């Protein structure tokens, strides 16, 4: 099993950040492979997208802990994929948040892993994807706050 984690500071209160990331309809804005996401029922969400050139349409669990500002997700039928995202208030000011994304990926079958990908290449891809997700969250949350606070033209 491989694990990947990345943290970033975002210039917005933790509540604003968590509201954005916990809204399933926002997933396509910050999860690189997701093209469409919707709530099925309860803690089940349907996600459609393309990953490594392969289309997918899957239902997974998504559990939100509002008090801890934490999302946990995964696939009940595929224990090889799960993760969490947590938003914490910054240490120095309430207008800063620390966002951490953590992924667990089980052993891939040889047909799932590109033959040319070496382990370090795969880790680099995963860290790049996490960094991209965090940058997207920052862009959407901070831009939304700036546009709300800008005076009308």
pLDDT tens by residue, 83-121: 999 999 977 788 999 999 999 987 655 545 554 456 678
The one-character DSSP state at 31 is S
In a domain? residue 34: no
In a domain? residue 9: yes
Residues paired with residue 100 on neighbouring β-strands, in sequence order: 7, 86
In a domain? residue 39: no
CATH code of 111's domain: 3.30.530.20
Of the pLDDT bands very low, low, confident and very high (cuts 50, 70, 90), residue 64 is very high
In a domain? residue 51: no
pTM recorded for the entire structure: 0.84
In a domain? residue 53: no
In a domain? residue 77: yes
The per-residue pLDDT for range 111-151, each reduced to its tens digit, is 455 544 566 788 898 999 999 999 999 999 998 765 554 44
Strand ranges across the sheet with 2-10: 2-10, 97-105, 78-89, 70-75, 54-65, 44-51, 34-41
Number of domains in the chain: 1
Expressed as residue numbers, the domain containing 110 is 2-22+66-149
In a domain? residue 132: yes
């Amino acid at each position: 099993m491989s694990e990947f984690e990345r943290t970033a500071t975002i210039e917005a209160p933790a509540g604003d950040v968590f509201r954005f990331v916990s809204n399933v309809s926002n997933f396509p804005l910050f999860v690189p492979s997701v093209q469409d996401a919707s709530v099925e029922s309860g803690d089940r969400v349907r996600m459609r997208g393309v990953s490594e050139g392969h289309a997918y349409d899957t239902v997974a669990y998504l559990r939100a802990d509002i008090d801890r500002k934490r999302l946990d997700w995964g696939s009940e039928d595929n224990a090889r994929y799960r993760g969490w995202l947590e938003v914490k208030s910054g240490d120095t000011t309430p207008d800063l948040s620390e966002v951490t994304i953590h992924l667990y990926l089980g052993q891939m079958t040889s047909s799932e892993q590109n033959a040319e990908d070496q382990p370090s290449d795969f880790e680099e891809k995963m860290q790049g994807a996490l960094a991209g997700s965090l940058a997207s969250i920052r862009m959407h949350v901070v831009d939304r706050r700036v546009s709300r606070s800008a005076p009308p033209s």
